[in-house]
Amino acid sequence: MNAQLATVVVVALLAGAAPLSAQDPRIAARLDPATAAEVGAILASARGSGLPVEPLVDRALEGASKGASGARIVAAVRSLAQDLAAARLALGAGAGEPEVTAGAGALRSGADPATLTRLRAARQGEVLTVPIGVLADLIARGVPADVATGAVLALARSRASDAEFVALRRNVERDILAGAPPGVAVAVRARGMPSTLPPTAPAATAATGDRGTTQGQPPVRRP
């Protein structure tokens, strides 16, 4: 009877110690014990659900580096865990960790979960990390979420490559820096039209050169 009781006690102790032993050492080293325990519980739940854990660790460490309170750190980690879960649900159970992480970033920037689902449908069998990242970056640049969504979905449906998504982002960023409103920059680039802000010097030079060397010259009169 005593041996059975001892076995039960050992099992109980091991079960209670498991979360501590599984806790990320970086969390234990940077957070106070109470905060580390709460964050550890969120990490354990995320890990058990198959969600990416590293972004959660990074968020907790970021909070610690900024001197945030334990309550704020826990709230931030929990909020990100919810976004990761929502992204995975929208993208499907087969989504890889980079896709889920990018999806959470897009949701936090203002994208709709339905957009992620539509992206998955448009690019079945392809990795969505780059298109989702471009979507998040465009919204972060000030492009209205619906405009950014329309442009990214149109590219996805046209079977655009990752390089074309990156080119869209690069061109839009350049147009915004040149003074174009973010929404207009995306609308123009999405139609495949060159931006007219600002006018390019080579084009003007070429036009002048054409007029000066051909159309602008008077006919040659022979004596």
Chain Cα centroid distance, residue 223:
73
Residue 8, pLDDT above cutoff 60: no
The pTM for the full model equals: 0.74
The 10s digit of each residue's pLDDT in 74-111 is 999 999 999 999 999 999 989 999 999 999 999 999 99
Residue environment code for 25-54, b if the CB has 16+ CB neighbours within 10 A, otherwise e: eebeebbeeebbbbbbebbeebeeeebbbe
Which residues lie below 8 Å from residue 67, measured CB to CB, with a gap of 6+? none
The 10s digit of each residue's pLDDT in 159-196 is 999 999 999 999 999 999 999 999 999 999 988 644 44
Closest C-alpha among 73, 84, 77 to residue 106? 84
